[in-house]
Amino acid sequence: MTPASLALIAIYLIVMLALVKPMGLYIANVMEGRPIWPLRVGAGVERLIYRLSGVDAGAEMGWRRYTIALLLFNAVGALAVYALQRLQLWLPLNPQQFANVSPDSSFNTAVSFITNTNWQGYSGESTMSYLTQMAGLAVQNFLSAATGIVVVVALIRGFARHTAQSIGNFWTDITRSTLYILLPLSTLLALLLVGQGVVQNLSAYKDVPTVETLAYQQPKVDSAGNPVKDAAGNPVLENMTTQKQTLPMGPMASQEAIKELGTNGGGFLNANSAHPYENPTPLSNFLELLAIILIPSSLTYTFGRMVGDTRQGWAVLAAMCILFVALVALAVHSEQLGNPRVAALGVDQTASILQPGGNMEGKEARFGIGASALFATIATGTSTGAVNSMHDSYTPLGGFVPLFDMQLGEVVFGGVGTGLYSMLIFAIIGVFIAGLMIGRTPEYLGKKIEAFEIKMSSIAILVMPFIVLLGTAIAVSVADGKAGVANPAAHGFSEILYAFTSAGNNNGSAFGGLSANTPFYNTALGLVMWLGRYWPIAAVLAIAGSLAAKKRVPVTAGTMLTYGPTFIILLIGTVLLVGALTFVPALALGPVVEHLVMWGG
Amino acid sequence: MTALLRPAIVLFLILTGITGFVYPFVVTGIAQAIFPTQAGGSLIVRDGKPVGSSLIGQSFSDPKHFWGRPSATSPQPYNGLASGGSNLGPLNPALTDGIKSRIEALQAADPANKAPIPVDLVTASASGLDPDISLAAAYYQAPRVARARGLAPDAVRSMIAAHARGKLLGILGEPRVNVLDLNLALDALK
């Protein structure tokens, strides 16, 4: 690792830590409905929204009603995103006249965006109209992130309340988290990004002349659009020249901002945050990195604040930071080391003051190694799945990091809301294990952890490995699954494992070589995303309801402290044990084999 | 259930209006007012006509121009409508074959240059539209460009230095140069 990469990671962590308390406090105030000035300013709008929607803002909900409201609200969103894609040709704001999207791809994308996955089977700049992007995809960037926030807030209320029948009001929670948290931050970030060069307009694509005339070949197609083949069955190529380049336009910055802040990750353009129009400068890259981590890290403070003991939040954040530093160090180190097969060709991969060196395949010159590997680690530890470099071309261990980062259940800061509630589930499992070891009824934050909580926690944790490994096993066994693979040998297996891991964890990043825009993958991954999102959410809300109803147990001399180094180690150990036990066999067949082959022979 | 249906639909529509229309339109309006060039794609305008974007790379293969990062877009490199990388794995023979042929092309264009080739000059970028190359990749090409243009190598090197961009605050970003900027400046020399 170069000193510059180390400095980048250090500064990133320092800025993040400096923002945790103010941001976390603000989120707590918003979600508790305290009379801070933004809520006073917005009170009129809020009242109007509730009146039109028929919402009684004062009515609290039990966990079942809260869950049904959440599922209904998300289902309406899915239908809207599906409909917009299927009808976009006949709707306005489609200057490129993009056709309606196919049913299987529309289904996949609709599920993908409501579940905060933002897996992209499609190529944005050649598929989606501005209307679909703005009013379909970007809206879900807001609402799926808000959904994550309300679930974790409901869980926190479960800890904070006692002998209560309710965990909050879903409608006011989702409205407030959208209006007071996500919207102002996105507006600010969008404008900062435009200042750096991110495009923001509604114009048609622009043609510009190029300096040189470019000669190239492309497959010839007949009048019906089918590829022409020669007698031997090979596609016929025709020689072309061009002197122009078409530049995509559109409302990118507004979507880019919420894409990062909501840990969504679905790019306006195919290359995502690697595209110079989505992420033009090292500074825009740093802002996007910060936006990704801002809310997930701050929520730990919100948690501590709302349960009345901020040490509890700092302990969880400490566990996240330790895991993060280990993972990012491995990623940066592996990528900086480069590819021995490329070095054997006499290529210079050494870092110097003139070049970043390392494994530059699938990376951008302005980001080099440090900023790329950092982005990969943080985008997969959260549920963002945005990429500023192509993970498929990473070295085996460099690519192992994003894969394992997701397989830990996305708790290394995690998605907006999802990260913290997943980590709190691990904490429940952790105190349960510790309780068994010392022979005491486990407690967490003054609540007895009993059979119901453990059952629901087990569901919340085990659903993901179950659907990921089952999906991978099916895909590697059927022709439709194997057909999508782009790279030979162990790497091809990694591509499939990565796809299902990404879908099951609602991440959305990919080993992009996999041709996943097929009916098989669109359907299979769509189902995995759906189950990976709502099954755990229902379990978490059930825990919230159960905890809220419990009495608070007084702290005694025998109470296990859930802050401090012992608890942090217990929490990290629980996360690693569950993640490692379930995924090591699969990882051994993919990145581990590939690493041994690369350096061994 | 039905009592929840109305808020689910109406609240969804209202929030769609706010986040899907008001928000992007307001951001577009402000962006057009304060950053019109950036919001429009950072186009480079010469004599009133756009000649490219300072953020989007172009394909160069003429020896008198600096060459950019290899681009994996199809059917042609630097296709603005199909951004993306090669997605070739580290052990894929297609990766090393591609690198070999790029090395051969660079050496054929400048047989006297025996220096090791900087890695970013023979590996495909992530976007396929990378506007930059490392300073190492630029200096590597300086002798070829100088000879093709009949310039002194030092003159070309000082042009690279003049267009170089370093690390912001010593930390953010990599030492690099924008290939289109540099080539436009060279073409404007005569």
- Judge whether residue A464 has pLDDT over 90: yes
What are A541-579's pLDDT values in tens digits?
Answer: 999 999 999 999 988 888 888 999 999 999 999 999 987
pLDDT-derived band of residue A601, with 50, 70 and 90 as boundaries? low
Q: Are A73 and B11 in contact (CB < 8 Å)?
A: yes
When the pLDDT of each residue in chain A is averaged and rounded to a whole number, the result is: 95
Is the separation of the CB atoms in A200 and A253 below 8 Å?
yes
pLDDT-derived band of residue A228, with 50, 70 and 90 as boundaries? confident
- Judge whether residue A311 has pLDDT over 70: yes
- Judge whether residue A220 has pLDDT over 90: no
d(CA A462, CA A460): 6
Q: List B residues 66-85 in contact with A (Cβ-Cβ < 8 A).
A: 69, 74-85
What are A327-341's pLDDT values in tens digits?
Answer: 999 999 999 999 999
ipTM: 0.97
Q: Are A199 and B117 in contact (CB < 8 Å)?
A: no
Chain A positions in Cβ-Cβ contact with residue B59 (cut-off 8 Å)? 210, 212, 214
Angstroms from A258 CA to nearest CA on chain B = 10
Contacts of A325 (CB under 8 A, 6+ apart): A9, A13
Q: Is A112 left (phi over 0), alpha (psi -120 to 50) or beta?
A: alpha
Is the separation of the CB atoms in A129 and A115 below 8 Å?
no
Q: List A residues 502-531 in contact with B (Cβ-Cβ < 8 A).
A: 511-513
What pTM was estimated for this model as a whole? Answer: 0.96
pLDDT given at position B167: 82
pLDDT given at position B174: 94
Interface check for B116 against chain A (CB to CB < 8 A): the answer is yes
Interface check for A254 against chain B (CB to CB < 8 A): the answer is yes
Interface check for A126 against chain B (CB to CB < 8 A): the answer is yes
Helix (H/G/I), strand (E/B), else coil: B53: strand
- Judge whether residue B190 has pLDDT over 80: no
Chain A positions in Cβ-Cβ contact with residue B116 (cut-off 8 Å)? 346-348
The beta-carbon neighbor of B132 closest among A72, A353, A366 is A366
User: In the numeric block, which tokens belong to residue A388?
Assistant: 């500023």
d(CA B38, CA B42): 5
Mean pLDDT confidence for A482-490: 92
Mean pLDDT confidence for B64-85: 96
Interface check for B163 against chain A (CB to CB < 8 A): the answer is no
Residue of A nearest to B106 (CA): A347
- Judge whether residue B126 has pLDDT over 80: yes
- Judge whether residue A18 has pLDDT over 80: yes
The beta-carbon neighbor of B59 closest among A212, A349, A361 is A212
Mutate which of B5, B13, B16 to disrupt the A interface (most A C-beta within 10 Å)?
B16
Return the minimum-mean-pLDDT range out of A8-17, A21-30, A243-252, B168-177.
B168-177
- Judge whether residue A349 has pLDDT over 80: yes
Interface check for A217 against chain B (CB to CB < 8 A): the answer is yes
Chain A positions in Cβ-Cβ contact with residue B19 (cut-off 8 Å)? 138-139, 142-143, 178, 182-183, 258
pLDDT given at position B168: 80
Mean pLDDT confidence for A81-94: 96
**Cα R_g (chain A), whole angstroms:** 24
Chain A positions in Cβ-Cβ contact with residue B133 (cut-off 8 Å)? 365
Q: Are B180 and A136 in contact (CB < 8 Å)?
A: no
Full DSSP string of A367-429: TTTHHHHHHHHHHHHSS----SS-GGGS-HHHHHHHHHHHHTTS-SS-STTHHHHHHHHHHHH
The beta-carbon neighbor of B75 closest among A143, A216, A487 is A216
* Residue A227 per-residue DSSP state: B
Interface check for B107 against chain A (CB to CB < 8 A): the answer is no
Interface check for B124 against chain A (CB to CB < 8 A): the answer is yes
Contacts of A197 (CB under 8 A, 6+ apart): A276, A277, A280, A281, A284, B38, B42, B55
Percentage of chain A modeled with pLDDT above 70: 100
Cβ count near A209 (within 10 Å)? 14
Q: Are A125 and B83 in contact (CB < 8 Å)?
A: yes
pLDDT given at position A365: 97
